[in-house]
Amino acid sequence: MRVVVTGAGGFIGGHVAEAMALAGHEVLAADALGRSATPAAARANLAALADHPGLTLVEADLAVDDLTRLAEADVVVHLAGRPGVRTSFGAGAAEVERDNVTATRRLLAACAERPPGRRPRVVVASSSSVYGSAGDRPHREDDPLRPASPYAVSKAAVERLAAQAARGGVPTVVLRYFSVYGPRQRPDMAFHRFIDAALGGRPLPVLGDGGQSRAFTHISDIVTATLAAATAELGTAEPGTSDPATSDPAAATVINVGHAEPVQVRTAIALLADLLGVRPHVRHYERAPGDVSRTWADTERAARLLGWRARVGPAEGLADQIAWHRGRETWATGAREAARWGAR
Ligand SMILES: NC(=O)c1ccc[n+]([C@@H]2O[C@H](COP(=O)([O-])OP(=O)(O)OC[C@H]3O[C@@H](n4cnc5c(N)ncnc54)[C@H](O)[C@@H]3O)[C@@H](O)[C@H]2O)c1
């Protein structure tokens, strides 16, 4: 299968591109290094992919460059974008508009220009943040969307674009990822900062009181779900969401990809400290704008359509991320981890 992975310099994109190549697909891995919010990490991720057999790297800014080549595939896994709730306020709003909304619109338009029957399936990265905070039950895909940040609004817009493309004859699958962690996690994300701080003997920077809970999902589970979404027989599309713009059966299939059990940040810190063999020193900072109290994934649809359920729990997953931090001068460690996880 010819597979294009956008955002291949990213945390998720790097793992997915590698796993696709290891699965024997012909992979075109695209990124625009200049658009990464964490360029050192993106450079390292791309370097790890550079000599991978079956994988070709291409520099393409989805918001401005010609995308014809990227649409010539059986599957496009669209993981490029500007992540992060916190940084999307203020000046960051223009970045999420450009790299999430404009980039996705242009990529889907390029796919729509292919002749019918030769259009790729497009797997699009969305986020649990479109829901806002969860109440006393997990969020289902047809729950109302209550985005609470410019980032979440941009992802809701991305979903509408995917639904529109699906109606226009480009098959799309929207994956709502919940907080992802594991080897190569972005340096701005919580566990990465906590582990770095603990290994360096510094206090762990916690935004708020640590009472927030998240459906933390290990990268290996994210990779498995994403590969399944790229290839699964989905039949007639599921109704999208409660959003009237996306809820007709011809619209994009929307699937939660998150661990079924949320974990409080303070519980994860205690677990981390245990695994690292340190006493946790925590420094609390003001809670970030747009930070929701709880994310919680209903995974029934993922199980039914993709045969997927998150398998890696926090103890195993955090131990894996710590191992990566300890040996991360050698990116090969991360690559081997990815191969091992991807193959499960
Ligand atoms: N990491 C998470 O926990 C999480 C959770 C929910 C959703 N997501 C979404 O998954 C996707 C990947 O997230 P990530 O954590 O790997 O982020 P990341 O920042 O590590 O990777 C994104 C990559 O996209 C590239 N990019 C940005 N704008 C581009 C453009 N205009 N053209 C080409 N490339 C561009 C960047 O250079 C970067 O390498 C994003 O869409 C993100 O919003 C991530």
Side chain identity, residue 2: R
- Please state the atom number of ligand 1 nearest to the C-alpha of residue 9: 39
Instruction: Say if CB 121 and CB 230 are below 8 A apart.
Output: yes
Report the C-alpha gap between 211 and 39 in whole angstroms.
31
Residue 237: predicted pLDDT: 52
Tell how far the Cα of 148 is from the centroid of ligand 1, in angstroms. Answer: 19
Contact criterion met (CB below 8 Å) for 167 and 247: no
Q: How many CA atoms lie within 13 A of 319 on its CB side?
A: 7
CA-closest candidate to residue 224, choices 110, 338, 104: 338
Ligand 1 atom 2 nearest Cα: 180
Distance CA 18, CA 270 (A): 32
The per-residue pLDDT for 240 is: 61
Residues annotated as part of the active site: 151
Q: Pairing relation of β-strands 180-181 and 204-207?
A: unpaired
The answer to whether the CB of 195 falls within 8 A of the CB of 321 is: yes
For residue 201, count CB atoms less than 10 angstroms from its CB and return exposed for 0-12, middle for 13-18, buried for 19 or more.
Answer: exposed
Q: What is the pLDDT of residue 77?
A: 98
- Among 38, 177, 217, 222, the mutation site with the greatest number of ligand 1 atoms within 8 A of its Cβ is 177
Write out 21-62 in H/E/C secondary structure: HHCCCEEEEEECHHHCCCHHHHHHHHHHHHCCCCEEEEECCC
Given the CA of residue 103, which atom of ligand 1 is nearest to it? Answer: 31
Within 6 A (CB) of ligand 1 lie 7, 9-13, 31-33, 35-38, 42, 60-63, 79-83, 99, 103, 125, 127, 177, 179-180, 186
pLDDT at 255: 97
Q: What is the pLDDT of residue 219?
A: 97
Task: Find the length of the chain.
Answer: 344
Tell me 202's DSSP state.
Answer: -
Task: Report residue 49 as tokens.
Answer: 């992919």
**155: CA distance to ligand 1 center in Å?**
12
The pLDDT tens digits along the chain (344 residues) read: 999 999 999 999 999 999 999 999 999 999 999 999 999 999 999 999 998 999 999 999 999 999 999 999 999 999 999 999 999 999 999 999 999 999 999 999 999 999 999 999 999 999 999 999 999 999 999 999 999 999 999 999 999 999 999 999 999 999 999 999 999 999 999 999 999 999 999 999 999 999 999 999 999 999 999 999 999 877 655 656 677 777 777 788 999 999 999 999 999 999 999 999 999 899 999 999 999 999 999 999 999 999 999 999 999 999 999 999 998 643 344 444 444 444 43
Q: What distance in angstroms lies between residue 12's CA and the mean position of ligand 1's atoms?
A: 7
Q: What is the pLDDT of residue 54?
A: 92
Continuous H helices in 168-264: 190-199, 219-231
Contact 28, 58 (CB under 8 A): yes
DSSP 7-18: TTTSHHHHHHHH
Tokens for 196, please give them: 């770095």
